[in-house]
Amino acid sequence: ALPLVALPLVVLPLVVAVAAAIVARRDRDPVRDRLEHVAAGERVADLGAAPGGWTWAAARRGARVWAVDNGPLKQGAAGHPAVEHVKADAFAWRPPVRADWLLCDIVDDPRHVLELLRHWCREHWCRRIVANFKYGRADPLALLAAVRGPRGLAPFTPELVCRHLFH
């Protein structure tokens, strides 16, 4: 079987729902670092896309993006020629073809988001993932253990990178 992930699968947990979080090492942003690997012509699925920050970052690099969110896109993502705004439930939407990247910034129970990511991995709908988990009321250590465990994302990738983002 072909390897599912060409680059490390990246799961970026957040304490709060802030996409532009500051990391413990304040000189680096691991989300931006990973998005720098998105190449022109690649296909990106951005689940929980609104208002469109990650969508715009991928489109700006030349990727074709499905921005999946019932909410409106704003600023650079809205009306961008490389962006298709799919007004749909991110948990129900399925890509018409395999994506190179899955970007996931859904505000929901992190266990539901983890199961969604596992589904994408099982179906081979993407090659790489960058995801934010919103802890909310979930225990962050238990969530990280679940993500890294055999019922999490570890079975789908030889390398799993997790970062705890906070502001």
Averaged pLDDT, 134-149: 83
Q: In the structure encoding, which two tokens stand for residue 119, read together? A: 């589904």
**Is 23 in contact with 45 (CB distance < 8 Å)?**
no
Give the DSSP H/E element, type plus range, for residue 59: helix 53-60
- Please give the residue that has the higher pLDDT: either 149 or 69: 69
Q: Which pTM was predicted?
A: 0.80
pLDDT at 31: 56
pLDDT at 133: 84
Averaged pLDDT, 29-54: 85
Q: How far apart are CA 6 and CA 95, in angstroms?
A: 19
The residues annotated with a catalytic role in the active site are 134
Given a cut of 70, is residue 19 above it in pLDDT? no
Averaged pLDDT, 13-41: 51
**Is 10 in contact with 30 (CB distance < 8 Å)?**
yes
